[in-house]
Amino acid sequence: MKSASIPSLRVDPALRHEAESVLQEGETLSSFVEQSIRSNIARRQAQSEFIARGLASREEARQSGVYFAAGEVLAELDGMLSDAESKGRE
DSSP line for 26-70? T--HHHHHHHHHHHHHHHHHHHHHHHHHHHHHHHHHHHH-----H
Is 6 contained in some domain? no
User: Is the whole model's pTM more than 0.95, yes or no?
Assistant: no
Is 7 contained in some domain? no
Range of the domain at 36: 13-89
pLDDT, position 64? 97
Is 21 contained in some domain? yes
Is 2 contained in some domain? no
* Number of domains making up the chain: 1
pLDDT tens for the chain, residues 1 to 90: 899 999 999 999 999 999 999 999 999 999 999 999 999 999 999 999 999 999 999 999 999 999 999 999 999 999 999 999 999 887
